[in-house]
Structure 1
């Protein structure tokens, strides 16, 4: 199955920023925002958008770092990792969350989008997906190993939409004690799901990382599609 993809401009106040758009074979469908890690809209993130387009979704990966350095593409090692951390630290969370909202609005304005808009974020993007859900700009949110969410639990009550979380059991960046805090805050919400993957580490979904776990990645992807199918 093939997809059609292109970069588009996303309006943001008096400015605009880029996003990688991938369309399903049928050309139309509900939408997902693919929110990058700290490594920009690189080849991996574009491939994730392409995958969801193959799954039948209009997928948009917005350039979250555009205010600091537009269209950055980084690898997962050495100086690129340090550069990604620097870009994340220079990016204001409020601006990034607003940009996710702008991406959602841009999707809703596209004739190709025929349904709801969900956010799927990875690493830093997982935190942004959670905060976008709290801001009310998306209809559902999914966070893959989203770091720092436990520091924003004051926003949990604002999350009115369905959410799904994916964590690796061996993730030293997000210990299970942090995950437990998040689970506790969402206790009693049958529309919020938590999935913890045995023997999986941070970044288990990314085939370009040493921590890639094919089984966990496939299982998480299947659960994500089921969640979207039920909630979207």
Structure 2
């Protein structure tokens, strides 16, 4: 079953909505799906639905709500891509992490206060997944093609629970120097695992559209599901 819920902001300001996909039986745990720069679109909702089919309670919060509530964009449509890039420039990432933290709180409450909560993010959401791992008490986190992690390595000491990052080696948004910095800064971290995907570009694990690369997407998703099974149940 799917529905839309309203979540209260931590600071008592504007509440926001989240798409929720519920499993058929008692949830194994909850997982927050952190959007790309295209909003909570069909691909992000499908990520939630797939997690629910695997037994997880899945939430996709509308993180762009301060800019334009309910926005949905298609990366294969050039005007949508340009609009998405503009939104990324306007987006307050620190507030985004606070809204993710509010979603963690809501998910834990839905689980009765004792269940585990993880998160998985894509693109901008991959960056926010890293920030969430460093700044909240999330139980396990995954980031796909995260952008700008080299500028966040100073926060790595605060990552206390498992984090997995999927890195396409031909990512046109994350150059080789940045990827090398990620490995140099995180390979020895006891809670972090990095996986490289040779020949793959940004967005390779999207559910729909031209960016998807099925073989690597399936490999990354299998690693993600095994990771969540190990750390969330």
In the other structure, the counterpart of 2:166 is: 166
* Cα shift at 1:27: 4.0
* Cα shift at 1:114: 5.9
In the other structure, the counterpart of 2:52 is: 53
In the other structure, the counterpart of 1:11 is: 8
In structure 1, what is the Cα distance between the partners aligned to 2:157 and 2:111? 33
In structure 1, what is the Cα distance between the partners aligned to 2:198 and 2:84? 27
In structure 1, what is the Cα distance between the partners aligned to 2:109 and 2:197? 37
In structure 2, what is the Cα distance between the partners aligned to 1:111 and 1:34? 17
Describe how 1:1-232 pairs up with structure 2 within 5 A. 4-12=1-9, 13-76=12-75, 77-111=77-111, 115-232=115-232
* Cα shift at 1:112: 6.9
Q: What RMSD over aligned residues (CA atoms) do the two structures have, in Å?
A: 1.5
In structure 2, what is the Cα distance between the partners aligned to 1:184 and 1:95? 28
Alpha-carbon displacement from aligned partner over 1:57-79 (angstroms, at most 9, x marks no partner): 11000001001100001111211
SS in 2 for 1:215: helix
In structure 2, what is the Cα distance between the partners aligned to 1:20 and 1:86? 23
In structure 1, what is the Cα distance between the partners aligned to 2:187 and 2:44? 31
Aligned residues: 229
In structure 2, what is the Cα distance between the partners aligned to 1:225 and 1:121? 14
In structure 2, what is the Cα distance between the partners aligned to 1:171 and 1:113? 39
* Cα shift at 1:81: 0.8
Contact 1:27 1:112 in 2 (8 A): no
Contact 2:46 2:207 in 1 (8 A): no
In structure 1, what is the Cα distance between the partners aligned to 2:14 and 2:88? 21
Unmatched tracts of structure 1, length 5 or more: none
- 1:72–1:94: structure 2 CA closer, same or farther, 3 Å change rule? same
In structure 2, what is the Cα distance between the partners aligned to 1:167 and 1:113? 33
In structure 1, what is the Cα distance between the partners aligned to 2:111 and 2:153? 36
Contact 2:160 2:191 in 1 (8 A): no
